[in-house]
Structures are given as C-alpha cells and as structure tokens.
Amino acid sequence: MVREILEYPDPRLRDPGKPVTEVTDEIRTLVDDMAETMYAAPGCGLAAPQIGVGLRVFVVDCAAEDEPSDLRVFINPEIIEKDGQVVWSEGCLSFPGVTEEIKRAERVKVRALDRDGKPFELEADGLLAVAIQHETDHLNGVLMIDKLNALKKRMMGRKLAKARAEAGSA
C-alpha cells in the first residue's frame, strides 16, 4: 500500500524513531508499504518517520533505471564506521523537487537487521553509502536542511516553495 510521505516542515519529521523490539508480520508489512511508497514516489530511499511511523526502519534501492531492483531493508541500523569525505547532490522525498550539495562520509559500515530480523553488516560507498547516512539521519530526526549553512537554508526554502508552486500549477 502506498502511504503518504510527510513533507518539510511537518514536525513529525523531527521525531527520532524508536528501536524495533521484534520483527513481526506488522513490521514486514510496514517494510513492504515503504518499498511500494518509495518506488511510487519515485525515490531511492525512505525512512519510516517520513510516513509518520516512529520506528528505526528504512529501505533503499540504489539500482540504476536499467538495472534490476536492489531493495535493501535496514531495521535498527547503526553506522559503526565512517571513512573519507564526499560531497553529493542529494534529494529527499520530504523535500520534493529540491536537491542540495551535502557533505557525507565516502564509505560507511552499517550493522542492522534485515526484513526477517536476521543481523547483518554491510560496507558501502558511493550512492548507497550516502543513502544509508541520509536515511539514518531521518531515524534520528535530522533532515538534510540541517546540514546547510544559514544562507543555503534560506535558498533551499525558496527552492522548495517554487517546486511546490510549480507542482500545484501542473
């Protein structure tokens, strides 16, 4: 089921997600809904707080359009290593129509549970590393606008207003 994605400045986006205590059928249904919502948007990542669910769960799929789906599920993720630095042009489903240059670690190692509650560790770089950091921020109530200086925050606010106006007139 496609769910509504909360848009900035919805205050629920600032609420940190709570850990999942047990991976149940309800959690798997949430994951399925999140994947369907992310693909419908379309986007390459979605965190549970973005659909108003206060849990530490996110999904990502960084496959290119001409590649098969590569859906990854992260429950209770924890970034355990960061290395290097990269500046990436990021978008966010909660900031539709807006991208900003954001500094992130170039490589990360993350520990999480999968859709079935099995623990795993993953080392990632490139877009996947950026997506993992971006979605983990969502689980902590941190948004990409928080990574910008005051001038860029104002500019992003204007870009968001313009994108919303254009979407409303389309």
| Cα distance between residue 145 and residue 155, in whole Å | 10
- Within a domain: residue 2? no
What CATH number did the domain enclosing 74 receive?
3.90.45.10
Does a structural domain hold residue 82? Answer: yes
Tell me how many domains the chain contains: 1
Q: Which one is catalytic: 78, 81, 123, 135?
A: 135
Residue 135 annotated to the active site:
yes
132: in domain: yes
Give the model confidence (pLDDT) of 35-77 as tens digits.
999 999 999 999 999 999 999 999 999 998 889 999 999 999 9
Overall residue count recorded for the chain in this entry:
170
Q: Is residue 98 part of a domain?
A: yes
Q: Model confidence over 93-141: pLDDT tens digits?
A: 999 989 999 999 999 999 999 999 999 999 999 999 999 999 999 999 9
Report the SS3 class of residue 78: strand
Looking at the domain assignment, is residue 1 inside a domain? no
Give 114-119's long-range contacts (Cβ < 8 A, gap of 24+).
Answer: 114/73, 114/75, 115/23, 115/28, 115/31, 115/73, 115/75, 116/23, 116/28, 117/22, 117/23, 117/75
Residues 22-45: tens digit of each pLDDT: 999 999 999 999 999 999 999 999
Q: Are 159 and 8 in contact (CB under 8 A)?
A: no
Q: Is position 6 within any domain?
A: no
How far apart CA 76 and CA 35 sit, in angstroms, is 17
Domain assignment of residue 144, given as a range: 11-169
Q: What is the pTM of this model?
A: 0.95
